[in-house]
């Protein structure tokens, strides 16, 4: 069974940084591309970033380009999202996804 | 871009409900439907436009290809009152429909 577990969400001040992690199990992690998504309170779903299975190719939503960095460590079955220069509008539940499968999410709150 | 309609959708238990999702370009069948209840993560219902995810009741079905897609609930149950999203995985940026809230 595919399982994805996010962690690392927290309360952080505007301008601060945070690193999210996603641990995958139940599949060969290195065979799959991965994504991060998010959902702001009361809002719809938004794609954030993508990484190829080998970690070479990455794509970002315009709203996070230059501030967020996606990476992965296939030896640890893990993917990461380094979030810098955080803004209030980055407040959201962040989900990692493998194709159509998503985790349960981790909450990031950006507030002073 | 994905355009979902209607929103919201008012219905009663036992109703047949259809939600549509229109893509701004051909996405083949790279489309999924998710159900989301308040405070919960989205739950995968349908993938590849028409394949029912394991464990999802058979009253849910999906159809379409190219630019026009539908999610149908054949007989609405009380636990189906939720928000539904379509999602395309054909090309970047990956996008979602705006959501359809199915309400009583």
Compare CB distances from B41 to A44, A50, A104 and report the shortest one's residue.
A104
**Which chain A positions have a beta carbon within 8 Å of B93's beta carbon?**
47, 59, 61-62
Start-to-end CA span in chain A (Å): 40
So what's the pLDDT on residue B104? 78
Rounded mean pLDDT of B71-94? 96
Indicate whether B21 pLDDT > 90: yes
pLDDT at position A55 is: 95
- Nearest-CA distance from B93 to chain A in Å? 7
CB contact under 8 Å between A44 and B92, yes or no, is no
Q: Percent of chain B having pLDDT more than 90?
A: 96
Residue B37 has pLDDT above 90, yes or no: yes
Other beta carbons within 10 Å of A13:
10
The pLDDT, as a whole number, for residue B7 is 85
pLDDT for residue A48 is more than 90: yes
**Residue B40, burial from CB neighbour count under 10 angstroms (0-12, 13-18, 19+):** exposed
- Rounded mean pLDDT of A49-76? 97
Give the pLDDT band (50/70/90) at residue B62.
Answer: very high
């Amino acid at each position: 069974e595919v399982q994805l577990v996010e962690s690392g969400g927290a309360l952080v001040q505007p301008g601060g940084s945070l690193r999210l992690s996603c641990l995958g199990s139940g599949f060969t992690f290195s065979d799959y591309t991965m994504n991060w998504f998010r959902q702001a309170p009361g809002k719809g779903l938004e794609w954030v970033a993508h990484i190829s299975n080998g970690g070479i190719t990455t794509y970002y939503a315009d709203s996070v380009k230059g501030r967020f960095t996606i990476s992965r460590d296939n030896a640890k079955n893990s993917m990461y999202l380094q979030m810098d220069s955080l803004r209030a509008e980055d407040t959201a539940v962040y989900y990692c996804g493998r194709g159509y499968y998503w985790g349960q999410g981790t909450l990031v709150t950006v507030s002073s | 871009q994905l355009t979902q309609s209607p929103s919201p959708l008012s219905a009663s238990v036992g109703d047949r409900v259809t939600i549509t999702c229109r893509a701004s370009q051909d996405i083949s069948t790279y489309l999924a439907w998710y159900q989301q209840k308040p405070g919960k993560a989205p739950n995968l219902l349908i993938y590849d436009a028409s394949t029912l995810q394991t464990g999802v009741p058979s009253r849910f079905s999906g159809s379409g290809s190219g630019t026009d897609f539908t999610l149908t609930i054949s007989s609405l149950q009380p636990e189906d009152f939720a928000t539904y999203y379509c999602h395309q995985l054909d090309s970047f940026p990956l996008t979602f429909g705006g959501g359809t809230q199915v309400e009583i």
